[in-house]
Structure formats: structure tokens, C-alpha cells
Amino acid sequence: MNPLLSICIPTYNRAQLLKEFLAVLETEVAPFGDAVEVVVSDNCSTDETPHVIREARERFAINHRRLSENIGGFKNIVTIATEVATGKYCWVLGDDDLIRPGAIATVMKVLKANSDLGAIFVNHTEEQHAERERGDHLAAKEVYQSARLLCHDTSERRVDRWEDIVLLSNVPGIFTAISDHIFLRDIWVRRAFPLARYEPGMELSYELVFPHVSMLADEMVGKPAYYLGFPYVMLFVGHQEWGGLWAKYLFTFVLRIADQLERGGAGPEVVRHYRNMIFKNCVYAFRRLLFDQRRALASGGEWTKWRFKPEDDWSFRRLWRRFNSYQEFRQMVRLAFLQEGLNRAVQ
């Protein structure tokens, strides 16, 4: 019999972080035997990752794939669920993430009691990578700061419509973290074929940056899901190589999530709330796009490292045409120009 849940970890050259995560999982999965599998896909790491996995496999079962060449992070994420995992449900977690005690037990309880679910959403706290390097995160495993929550609703419940989870957060970018989603593997298999053709160096697109959302939003709008408000996921930020692009992501790919929800039949309250979370909270990011990008393009750097498909790239003119009817959008634009003027005045 196949496992009920596959914990999927795509990894590349993060041996120490992976070692710490596998030690956590060893304890978490132990009570469930074959009902939970741990899956690791090593994207041809050149550090101690193979040794870390080999040592962990001596202590507990790991379904392991080591790729003979680096296929790119996006493709590794997509194919770990389609080609390696065997569970009914998959939970794709970053090799730099951690889960809090009781996470697996809670998820298994929910899955066993709700056999018709297509997805579970798990709340997270945003932790700083620098704190992890100091070891501060160990104390935060069971005690968390509410200011770091993605969703401040820490209850748990079944929801009639998956997309209504958007209304539980006021933080821009809900749904963007793949680690927050547990999903039917069949959904991934049905929807993943175009994404599996990705090759390193391809232009970035919405589907490649947020493959999980592009697949789930096509399948889950209007369908029941489960919300776990306790932050079982610890999401570490501050070391991702794409981190400097987040401002650009917000006004390209993250806004596209609302578009896809709308096309799928999500109600206007959900769609408007998703967009307004960005317009109300991302003035600084918007100002960076308007003014810093021009300076950065002249000198190279983070803005030029990644190539976007033209239709997915940043365009103020395109945004203005689409969203100038939103009061929140117009206010964001005004504040961005005001901040830039003040910034120049004090220089």
C-alpha cells in the first residue's frame, strides 16, 4: 500500500541545513511507519549532501534520488512529486525550512478524518536566516512571535472553498510559499507536464516561479480544503539568491495569482483582497521598482541576473491601465513618489 503522505525535499548544496531538517523529520515520522515517506531529491550537489543523506538513511527510511546533472531548481521541485514520491498527498518543503513539533501528527490526523480533501494550507512564521546561524531558532520551535505569522488566525478548520484562505491573511504573498501547501499528488501529476520541460537558463514565467499555485488554483477554486492556523512551518528568509527580486515578483507574478483565482471563479471579495494586500503594504517595493531599477540596470546587478518573459515583466504603464480604478493602487503610487521626493531632499 502506498503512503498516505510524502514529505518531499528538493535539495542542492545545503548539506548542513538538510542534516538539521532530516534530524527533525526522523523524530516526527517515526510513529507512522510506512504511512509517511520522506523523499529527498539531490540536484547533483557538490558539497557533503550525499554523505548527509547516506548517514540519515542508516537511521530511518528515505526515498532518495540523486541526479547525475543539475536540472535546475524549478524542475527538481516539480519532478520530486511526479517521479519520486509515491504518497497520496505530497508536502514539498524547502531544504532550508523546519517544521515545529507535532506537525506530521496533526497533518495525518486531518488527512485521515477528511478523505475528500484536495489540499491543506499550513500557516508559517517567517524567521531570519541569521538567527538560525546563531542557533536562536531552536528556542523558537515551540514558542513563536505573533508578528512573524503569515496568518494571525491560529485556529484550525475545514473551509468550503480553498481560495477563501486568502481572506485570513493581510500579508502580501499568501500562497506563494510552497511549504505551506499539502496537496493531492494526482493534481501535481495532471498539471505538471509543461513545467517538467523547464531547462536552466529559460526566461522566468509565473508558472515556473510559483508552479504549485499555478497548478492548485486550476484545480482547487471552489473546492473544500483544510486550514491549519498553528504555524507548523518555520520559513527562513535572508539567504535566497532571488531575494533581491521580491519587489519585482510582487508586481508581476504575485499579482498574477489574483488573476488566476479570478479566472478560476473565485469571488470578487477574494480577488480584491489579494490585490489590495499588495497595494496597501508594498509601497517601498513599488518605489524600488519605479526608481531603483533604472539605476541598477545601468550598473548590472540583481535586476539583470534573471530574465523574464516580456509578457510577464514589470511595466508601470501596464499596471496603471489595469488598476488605476483601485483607490489603494492610486494611494500606493502617490506614496511612492512622495517617499522618493523626500529621499532625494535629504541626500
DSSP 77-112: HHHIIIII--SSEEEE--TT-EE-TTHHHHHHHHHH
Position 299 confidence tier, pLDDT thresholds 50, 70, 90? very low
Cβ-contact 212, 178 below 8 angstroms? yes
- Taking residues 92-121, what's their average pLDDT? 97
Looking at the structure, do residues 63 and 111 belong to the same domain, yes or no?
yes
What is residue 36's predicted lDDT score, i.e. its pLDDT?
99
Looking at the structure, do residues 9 and 149 belong to the same domain, yes or no?
yes
Looking at the structure, do residues 265 and 185 belong to the same domain, yes or no?
no
Which among 256, 180, 275 is positioned nearest to 225, based on CA atoms?
A: 180
Looking at the structure, do residues 186 and 246 belong to the same domain, yes or no?
no
Please tell me the distance from the alpha carbon of residue 264 to that of residue 220, in angstroms, as a whole number: 9
Identity at 39, one-letter amino acid code: V
Helices (H), 183-310: 185-191, 206-209, 211-220, 246-249, 255-264, 268-281, 283-287, 293-299, 302-305
State how far the alpha carbon of 186 is from the alpha carbons of 64, 82, 177, 257, 337, in Å: 20, 9, 20, 21, 47
pLDDT at 14 over 90: yes
**Other beta carbons less than 10 A from residue 52's beta carbon:** 24
What is residue 154's predicted lDDT score, i.e. its pLDDT?
95
Task: Look at 345 and 316; give whichever has higher pLDDT.
Answer: 316
Please tell me the distance from the alpha carbon of residue 26 to that of residue 8, in angstroms, as a whole number: 14
Looking at the structure, do residues 27 and 58 belong to the same domain, yes or no?
yes
For 101-110, 163-172, 174-183, 244-253, which range has the lowest pLDDT when averaged over its residues?
244-253
Looking at the structure, do residues 150 and 36 belong to the same domain, yes or no?
yes
Q: Which of 201, 216, 240 is the last residue of a domain?
A: 240
Looking at the structure, do residues 176 and 90 belong to the same domain, yes or no?
yes
- Taking residues 30-58, what's their average pLDDT? 98
Looking at the structure, do residues 234 and 168 belong to the same domain, yes or no?
yes
What is residue 290's predicted lDDT score, i.e. its pLDDT?
83
What is residue 33's predicted lDDT score, i.e. its pLDDT?
97
For 218-227, 249-258, 297-306, 314-323, which range has the lowest pLDDT when averaged over its residues?
297-306
How many structural domains is the chain composed of? 2
Looking at the structure, do residues 329 and 202 belong to the same domain, yes or no?
no
pLDDT at 218 over 50: yes
Express each pLDDT in 219-274 by its tens digit.
Answer: 999 999 999 999 999 998 865 555 567 888 899 999 999 999 999 999 999 999 99
User: 172: which residues sit within 8 A by CB, 6+ positions away?
Assistant: 250, 254, 277, 278, 281, 282
Any idea what DSSP says for residue 202? Answer: P
pLDDT at 17 over 90: yes
pLDDT at 126 over 80: yes
What is residue 132's predicted lDDT score, i.e. its pLDDT?
66
**Domain encompassing residue 91:** 5-240
pLDDT at 206 over 50: yes
Looking at the structure, do residues 211 and 315 belong to the same domain, yes or no?
no
pTM (whole model) above 0.85? yes
Looking at the structure, do residues 218 and 294 belong to the same domain, yes or no?
no
What is residue 303's predicted lDDT score, i.e. its pLDDT?
47
What is residue 130's predicted lDDT score, i.e. its pLDDT?
73
Position 195 confidence tier, pLDDT thresholds 50, 70, 90? low
Please tell me the distance from the alpha carbon of residue 326 to that of residue 323, in angstroms, as a whole number: 5
Average pLDDT, the chain: 88
Task: End-to-end CA distance of the chain: give it in Å, rounded.
Answer: 67
Cβ-contact 6, 91 below 8 angstroms? yes
Looking at the structure, do residues 43 and 149 belong to the same domain, yes or no?
yes
Q: What percent of the chain shows pLDDT beyond 90?
A: 66
What is residue 157's predicted lDDT score, i.e. its pLDDT?
97
For 13-22, 51-60, 134-143, 159-168, which range has the lowest pLDDT when averaged over its residues?
134-143
